[in-house]
């Protein structure tokens, strides 16, 4: 049986483990600096920057979705950006990923959001095929840019 629920402060160790598991799957473990204190501050502090939905299958933690709001000036509405979606390998092919996305779609509608969007690594064909199967469209004409670390500091100082 599948259960979805919003994360609570006591779930921080589980959330961190899911983040690390996702990073390992994406071959990005070397860039994870998240820790329990940072997660507590950003997910449950005075200014909450993101939300988490946890998935349990037969009472066992099976996956999570971490999301936050963005905004579309063209739609003049908020949107939901899915930062992380992860289902443990042993729980895949049980429709948990689809249930998490469906849950987020309902949250988006309830909050009058104009869209739900996310990014996927271009080599992750199982995820890409899954997203296409539920009607998601690739935004191939857009390129994501990012500033972090020294580049971010340098621009802020200029």
Cβ pair 114, 75 in contact under 8 A: yes
Sheet holding 51-57, edge to edge: 2-6, 51-57, 60-72, 77-87, 116-118
* Candidates 49, 71, 81, 131; catalytic one: 131
Task: Reply yes or no on whether 131 is catalytic.
Answer: yes
> What length is written for the chain?
158
Cβ pair 4, 54 in contact under 8 A: yes
Nearest-CA neighbor of 108 among 136, 137, 82, 142? 82
By annotation, the residues acting in catalysis are 131
């Amino acid at each position: 049986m599948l259960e979805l629920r919003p994360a609570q402060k006591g779930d921080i160790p589980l959330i961190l483990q899911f983040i690390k598991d996702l990073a390992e799957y994406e071959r990005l473990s070397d860039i994870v600096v998240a820790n329990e204190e940072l997660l507590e501050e950003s997910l449950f502090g005075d200014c909450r920057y993101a939300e988490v939905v946890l998935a349990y299958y037969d009472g066992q933690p099976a996956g999570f979705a971490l999301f936050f709001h963005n905004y579309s000036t063209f739609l003049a509405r908020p949107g939901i950006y899915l930062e992380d979606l992860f289902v443990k390998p042993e729980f895949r092919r049980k429709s948990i990923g689809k249930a998490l996305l469906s849950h987020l779609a309902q949250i988006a509608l309830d909050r009058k959001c104009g869209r739900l969007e996310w990014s996927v690594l271009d080599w992750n064909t199982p995820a890409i095929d899954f997203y296409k199967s539920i009607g998601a469209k690739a935004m191939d004409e857009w390129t994501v840019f990012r500033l972090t670390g020294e580049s971010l500091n340098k621009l802020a100082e200029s």
